[in-house]
Amino acid sequence: MQDFAMSNSILVIGRIGQIGFELARGSWPAWATVDFVERDELDLARPDTVGRYVADMRPDFVVNAAAYTAVDQAESEPDMAFAVNRDGPAALADACRDIGAALVHFSTDYVFDGSKPGPYTEDDPINPLSVYGASKAAGDAAIAERLDRHVILRTSWVYSAIGRNFVKTMLRLGAERDKLGIVADQHGCPSAAADNAQAVIDIVAAIGEGRPHEFGTFNCCGTGATTWHGFARAIFDGAALRGLPIPQTVDQIATEAYPTPAARPRNSVLDCGKLARAYGIVAPAWRASLGRCLDELVPQPQPVAD
Ligand SMILES: NC(=O)c1ccc[n+]([C@@H]2O[C@H](COP(=O)([O-])OP(=O)(O)OC[C@H]3O[C@@H](n4cnc5c(N)ncnc54)[C@H](OP(=O)(O)O)[C@@H]3O)[C@@H](O)[C@H]2O)c1
């Protein structure tokens, strides 16, 4: 364990993605000096820039909130997906090892094939169905091979008030259409980017302050599970409460009725017990976090004082 006075600088890669944005407005410990870098200065697809940047900055922690996240587009751009999601993280891990830094990195539920009947634990075998899932799995393996002091957080179904995500897509479609069909045979855990960011901050704080901690791979998503249809229903319930237009009917459809270039696992529910045991981190119930995101997206009028 480290003396926290010796480990206070944190370099976060990605500030304008969903999780990066939440890390930028998160409450870090007072001892932490947090710097953010974006693609124009550190391009994960160019490992030479990665090593040089990290070596120059010499942070105590690197948090990688950046990735190639276009799941369907990755099917036709595998080289780019692997460059950003495997080669970039491999270079990050090399650079962290060289300077003695710890690396916190995000992975995905899409490393699994969905054939398990129950929630996935960290030890279950992976078998990605998509280029995106394979590229993320390759990045995880590259980090684990190179660097002991790593924390890989596998998250799922991420949303926030910024960026492109399912919540914002549903609100847009709900305002445009009377009837929607939403996939009801894929099961997963909606995760608020704000909760993911809080988990990162808590992990960095535990390691930096020399409190009990563990390195390795951890599932990290919202508490509770649903289907895309159940998620959509909750979004529309919340939207209606906040006065937004919603569709009259939201039908349950099968995966086959909504074909996409990339295959998705039918079950990607993640068991987050390991993160709770190692760090005491338990994300809020997914519906509660969804409510907070909707509050941010749809600010309610404030009562006018007399
Ligand atoms: N979104 C999900 O549902 C989901 C689910 C499971 C796991 N995850 C994982 O969670 C992490 C964060 O996801 P997110 O949803 O916050 O991502 P996001 O909103 O799509 O943001 C991705 C970020 O990565 C940056 N980026 C892309 N290519 C880059 C490159 N070559 N070099 C440097 N930066 C680059 C983007 O910058 P530009 O704006 O310049 O492109 C953007 O800031 C990722 O590791 C992702 O795989 C996400």
- What does pTM read for this prediction? 0.95
pLDDT tens column, 106-161: 999 999 999 999 999 999 999 999 999 999 999 999 999 999 999 999 999 999 99
pLDDT tens column, 30-57: 999 999 999 999 999 998 889 999 999 9
Catalytic, 132? Answer yes
**What pLDDT is stored for residue 4 in this prediction?**
46
User: Residue 5 pLDDT more than 90?
Assistant: no
Check if 154 has its Cβ closer than 6 Å to any atom of ligand 1: no
Q: Given ligand 1 and candidates 85, 112, 158, which is best to mutate, with the most ligand atoms within 8 Å of its CB?
A: 158
Which residue's CA is the nearest one to ligand 1's atom 43?
17
Ligand 1 atom closest to residue 14's alpha carbon, by position in its atom list = 43
User: Residue 82 pLDDT more than 70?
Assistant: yes
Instruction: Determine contact, residues 4/210, Cβ cutoff 8 Å.
Output: yes
Check if 199 has its Cβ closer than 6 Å to any atom of ligand 1: no
pLDDT tens column, 274-306: 999 999 999 999 999 999 999 999 877 666 666
Instruction: Determine contact, residues 136/85, Cβ cutoff 8 Å.
Output: yes
Check if 158 has its Cβ closer than 6 Å to any atom of ligand 1: yes
pLDDT tens column, 56-74: 999 999 999 999 999 999 9
Mean residue pLDDT of the chain comes to 95
**What pLDDT is stored for residue 300 in this prediction?**
74
User: Residue 2 pLDDT more than 50?
Assistant: no
pLDDT tens column, 174-204: 999 999 999 999 999 999 999 999 999 999 9
Check if 188 has its Cβ closer than 6 Å to any atom of ligand 1: no
**What pLDDT is stored for residue 299 in this prediction?**
76
Q: How many residues does the chain have?
A: 306
DSSP codes joined into one string, 20-59: HHHHHTS---TT-EEEEE-TTT--TT-HHHHHHHHHHH--
Check if 63 has its Cβ closer than 6 Å to any atom of ligand 1: no
- 68, 120, 132, 159: the active-site residue: 132
CA of residue 304 to ligand 1 center, whole Å: 40
- β-pair partners for 180: 250
Check if 155 has its Cβ closer than 6 Å to any atom of ligand 1: yes
